[in-house]
Amino acid sequence: MEQFLSIALTLLLVMDPVGNVPFYLAATAHVAPERRQRVIARECLIALGILVVWLFVGGKLLDLLGISEEALSAGGGLVLLMIGIRMVFPSPTTSLSEPVTVEDEPLIVPMAVPYFVGPSVMATEAIFMRQYEDQWLMLLGAAAACWVVASTILMCSTLLQRLLGNKVLAAFERLMGMLLIVMSTQMLLDGVQAYFG
């Protein structure tokens, strides 16, 4: 259970649904208000499909590339560390999201990919699938649990922005970034220790 929670929390931190709230609102700014919730729900379902497919494909891709578990742990920790730092210290030049220029109703890009399931989420899934390949059911459950939480947050985007405001949402994102930095540092140290041990 502890392992499940650790994996689920890491995935959720990398997904960063709270930080994506303003981007979802921007991406649906030109969508008719009566269709906005349907569009967000559709994009979340597409993201779920991508999450599940990549969970099983990503690990096999790393196997084909011949990447060792130690390198995967250290490299994955380093990537997540950089993501965490960018969450804590965001700037226009190091934003984790792409600028929205969509004038019509968005489809897949940018909401499902890269906002919901970006390269960082895919890399994290591949890392976990490689480390726990015999426990794919647990990984699938963790991914599904994260998707439920993230989708619920994103479906409530308008309400959250109205209740909390952009400053509080930004504070939550920085807090999640701090947690991700700590977890990724541990992953990096574990990989280095396993290699030299």
pLDDT at 83: 75
Question: Which residues touch 167 (CB under 8 Å, ≥6 apart)?
Answer: none
Q: Which residue's entry shows tokens 């109205």?
A: 162
Give the pLDDT of residue 93: 55
Is 18 a residue whose pLDDT tops 60? yes
Residue 151 has a pLDDT of: 97
State pLDDT tens for residues 125-165.
888 888 888 899 999 999 999 999 999 999 999 898 888 88
DSSP state of 68: -
Query: What is the pTM (predicted TM-score) of this model?
Result: 0.76
20 pLDDT higher than 50: yes
| Distances in whole angstroms, Cα of residue 89 to Cα of each of 42, 86, 121, 176 | 31, 5, 19, 12
What pLDDT sits at residue 100? 45
Number of domains composing the chain: 1
Confidence of residue 12 (pLDDT cuts 50, 70, 90): very high
Smallest CA-to-CA distance from 121 within 106, 99, 143 is with: 143
Q: What are phi and psi of 109, to 5 degrees?
A: -100, 130
pLDDT score for 92 = 62
Among 129, 150, 137, 146, which Cα is nearest to 55's? 129
Residue type, 29: A
DSSP string, 145-178: HHHHHHHHHHHTHHHHHHHHHHHHHHHHHHHHHH
Domain region containing 86: 2-196
Q: Is 5 or 194 the better-scoring residue by pLDDT?
A: 5
- Token couple for 66: 């011949």
Nearest CA to 120 out of 11, 47, 21 is that of 11
Q: CA-CA distance, 162 to 184, in Å (whole number)?
A: 32
Convert the pLDDT of each residue in 64-121 to its tens digit.
Answer: 888 777 787 787 788 778 877 887 887 765 554 444 444 567 888 888 988 899 877 8
Range 159-166 contact pairs with CB under 8 angstroms and sequence separation of 24 or more:
160/18, 160/21, 161/21, 161/22, 161/25, 166/22
